[in-house]
Chain A
Amino acid sequence: MGLLENLSIRRKLIAVITATSTAALILAAIGFMVSDAIETRRSMVEDVKALGGMIGSWSSGSVAFADPDSARGILDALKIKPNIITAALYTAQGEEVSSVTTGDPPPPFNATRPGPEAFFNGNFLEYHGPIIHQNEVIGRVFLRSNLLPLAQRRQQFAWIVIALVAVGTVAALLLSSAFQRVISRPILKLAEVTRQVSAQKNYNLRAPKHGNDETGELIDGFNEMLNQIQIRDAELEKARSELEIRVQERTKELQDEVMERREAEEQLRATATQLERSNKELQSFAYVASHDLQEPLRKVQAFADRLKLKHEAALDEEGRDYLNRMQSAAKRMQTLIEDLLSFSRVATKVQPFELVDLNKVARDVISDLEVRIQQSQGVVEVGPLCSIQADPTQMRQLIQNLVGNALKFRKPEEPPRVKIESRQQASESAPSEEICRLTITDNGIGFDEKYLDRIFGVFQRLHARSVYEGTGIGLAICRKIVERHGGEITARSIPGVGSSFIVSLPIEQNKTRA
């Protein structure tokens, strides 16, 4: 079957039908040949029996009277049967009366020879028959026939078979070429449509159906498949166009959003730039102003001091009071200017970050403030503190301001207790970063938390200057320092109980922030 695999179905069908027909024809021919051979042999046996019987009957007189002349006349009549090559007549006693032969002489008579009257002996058919007259065996006939008729008939038959098979094969070839279309045409048409569909991607094509056989089912299935593909294609196309519309819409929305955001950003950037500029201007203004303000102030103070030293006696009580007030105001102004300068220096006079041990900073601050602590009989506790990367001066400024505030806003009847603690922990906003959470707690007057927004602003005061002195810049400086270090500052407080200022600072500084 390997040979046939790549042939077209048409050729396959023709080949199969022709081969089958030819095989059937050959088998039938062989069957006929065999049957004919059997029949021919049988009829040869019958013929030789009839002939033997006839010869026996004719020659009964010749055999009875052992007359060779008349016997010879009868045997000579056998010349019309050319296949009989040997014939002999015997008396009942077994003596040969007469014989004719073209080949071997007749066998010696054997009266007791068993077996049938006629049988095939090698290349011959032999007949041994009795001559019966008046119910008495009076002699015997021997006939030997060659098998020429059998061979001739076989040869004749072979030619007929060859001719028949040749003609039959040609006929089968022609008929199968005609009939194979019944099977192959729908399949070929289906294959053609399949080729067109796959080449042109045209799913509108349909294979024509010819009948309700298996091929018909196949074609129905194929067409149904095309239907399904078309339906799915249409659905897909619909979904795709819908999707496209949706994408377009969404893109437009996004573009709008982006546009809006860009505008907002630009606006923000412009504002920020403007703000920064004005901030810088303000800072430089504040610095320059403060710096330049110091010079006339020093003169005011210097001449006030000199006035008091040289001319105090010349002044009356009222004059001395004025002079004292003037000196006090000048002193306050000096503090104000110094504070302003330090506030603006946070941004302008910067030192590079280095590793700062907050314990040392806290100790320095406490020793600076020792006088005030002792005066107020206060206690400052320092827990173990972190070491962080920071500006050491500003750290000192920060802690000093916060501890100073704690000492300053104490309850008049109670000595201040201040606690400085820190804890290292993960940042809430960026968990990979470690922060130092520094807490400075006091038992002072506290404040209402609704003012939390205000206390870190410049010149913001919650109390009259007469009650608590100060410029209202300290916490603003603190916030500025903390912000410069990328940290946060906030506070908790209960009025009359105490306050707690919480500073979160990164342990390590990103280089970009400096």
Chain B
Amino acid sequence: MLPALSDRFYGEPQTSRAKRRQSRRMSPQVLLLVALGAFIIFSAVRALTGANDLTSSGSMAAGLSAAVPIGLAGLGGLWSERAGVVNIGLEGMMVLGTWGCGYLGWNHGPWAGVLFGTLLGAAGGLLHALATVTFGVDHIISGVAINIIAPGLALYLTKVTFAHYPGGGQKQSPPIADARSITLPTSDWLRTVENKHWFAVSDAAGILRGITTGLSLVTVLAVVVLIASGWLLWRTSFGLRLRSCGEAPFAADSLGVNVYKYKYIAVVVSGAMAGFAGSALAISAHQFRDGQTGGRGFIGLAALIFGNWRPGALGVGAGLFGYTDAIQLRSSKAVHALLLLIAVALVLVAIWQWRTRQRAIAIVAVVIAALAVWWYFGSENVPPELVGATPYVVTLLVLALASQRLRMPKWDGRVYRKGESH
């Protein structure tokens, strides 16, 4: 009776195999060109609109900091979905991470907090794995249940513990100390360059300064974890087998791979990542607070889709979403300028779709781009409430306009039971 719903978590792209014959990965040279192109466009828009905060070091630093929880959550989603298990309980596991970080972090230092937060997140992952892998429960439902339990549990535990600690309260933990941060010696020199507002050069200076000033070690660890995940999943035997569970579990089983084991590992690691994400959030906020995750677990999922289930692109997506989150607080002018950037991106998408014979989609993309431009010129600023919706709108656009390029793991979301016919 219970519907097998997560069978279609991501849906079927409506294209024949012929249309999906795309190359698997862009070569490093093409990637470099794209990055360069994006940089030029950013600089141009910054120069045209005078919104210096678009590429200022302050925005970059804040953006990077905001990107960490999102990226780690998305990384958690990556680990899980690459093994075929959809994990929308990332939000709940992240909450457990924030609480865990507060529990040990307030009087044992931030790194103890990170450790415990990660552990609690992993526990959440274990629960999800138990439900989905052993009991074959629908992945979505299990995730929803965890998202109901976790915040309640965290608040319950807060009232039982933090409320009695010095500096804590009914809904928050005592303050957590900062993790150490790094600042490269080039920082001052870069600031001078940045303030000259020269086209491209100052932008480059701003970006560089932003990521080398006051760089928290937590951020550094997060980036290391991201790179390590990519290496583990694509360059080792372990990673190949794990990914095969998400692509063709029956084939893997026929070759002697223990599919259940790898799914378990993947989902527990997924929870751990979400826990780490929560810890990072708590440390940057200097305490645990009820409700501080604010949907970042879902933004992480959005970044995962945006990044086509690959760690590098996921990082870029998280960076983008963190960036929009950061500049929203810093400069409404920069946010306003973002509209133009989105329009440019949409036009590029339209060109690409036109060339691959998807005329209707190309037209839709151009129309939306035109709307964005019209909005830019027709208004003074973007209403602050709407900026927060950017990651979600972008993801919807990606899903709607670029679905044939998306390549989610083939068996993602489908319940696997050894020996059943398929």
The answer on A and B forming one complex is no
**Which A positions have Cβ atoms within 8 angstroms of B?**
none
